[in-house]
Amino acid sequence: MTEAAERYQLSSDAMCKRLGDEIVILDLASGTYFGLNDVGGRVWELIGNEICETSAICAALAEEYDVGQNELEADVTALLADLVARKLIFTAA
């Protein structure tokens, strides 16, 4: 049996605002601000639009950016892990 892919959702404590190429996130739980660059911001927006699995996020980004598949998957996986560690996103049940 294949293990179900992890799905992510944005923390309800996180407020965000896109400003040009960046997204600014305010985490109400910690009172801390975070900035995401253009690609990181797209990942954030995709999760917000319920494109929540790593593979789906990578597929969407591959259509928008000229980047190799391996590099893209590594970068997205690292970003998702960082966002989870900072409690800005959670793995959905």
Partner 1 sequence: MLAAQPQLPLNTGPYDRWISPDGRTVASFHRESSGLRLRFYEQADFLLDLVREAADCIPVPGIAVETLEALHANAIVPLLANYRGGHALHGSAVAIGEAIVAFTGLSRSGKSTLAGAFAAAGYPYLSEDALLIEPCAQGHELMPARPGLRLFADSAEHLGTAMHAELPHRDTPGPLAALLLLDTQEPPKPVLERLEPATALVGLLQHAFILDVEDRARLQAHFGRIGELAETVPCYRLDYRRNYAQLPDVIALVAGEFA
Contact set with partner 1 (CB under 8 A): 15, 17, 19-20, 22, 24, 26, 28, 33, 35
Minimum separation from the CB atom of position 10 to partner 1 (A):
13
30 or 77, CB closer to partner 1? 30
17 or 63, CB closer to partner 1? 17
Nearest alpha carbon to residue 72 among 55, 88, 89, 86: 55
Minimum separation from the CB atom of position 84 to partner 1 (A):
22
Distance CA(54)–CA(58), nearest Å, equals: 6
**CA 53 to each of CA 5, 47, 90: distance values in angstroms, whole numbers, following the listed order:** 7, 8, 12
Minimum separation from the CB atom of position 20 to partner 1 (A):
6
Token look-up 């995709």 returns 46
Other beta carbons less than 10 A from residue 41's beta carbon:
20
26 or 39, CB closer to partner 1? 26
31 or 68, CB closer to partner 1? 31
